[in-house]
Amino acid sequence: MSDLLSDDELIELTGYKYPSKQCEALTRAGISFITRRDGHPSVTWSALNAALSGVSVKAVPNEHPEQPNFDAM
């Protein structure tokens, strides 16, 4: 079993066949996803379960990860 929902599962989940409508439905439902190059959304079971359980998951890229100040040493 893959951690990603299949295309058929996304259709069943969102009620839409078209990728743009699926993305809109996922956004309205607060389910995190990424858009593949072909325009289809990719959703993990973890993201779906987190949204259903009410857990707020906010993906924020960390451009400057915390690192020790080597100059102070």
- Decide: residue 40, CB within 10 A, 0-12 exposed, 13-18 middle, 19+ buried: middle
Per-residue pLDDT of the chain in tens (73 residues, 90 and over written 9) = 579 999 999 999 999 999 999 999 999 999 999 999 999 999 999 999 988 888 765 555 555 566 666 777 6
pLDDT of 42 reads 96
C-alpha–C-alpha distance, residues 68 and 49, integer Å: 36
Provide the residue ranges of all domains of the chain, joining segments of one domain with +: 1-56
What pTM did the predictor assign? 0.70
pLDDT of 72 reads 72
C-alpha–C-alpha distance, residues 45 and 48, integer Å: 5
pLDDT of 52 reads 86
pLDDT of 65 reads 60
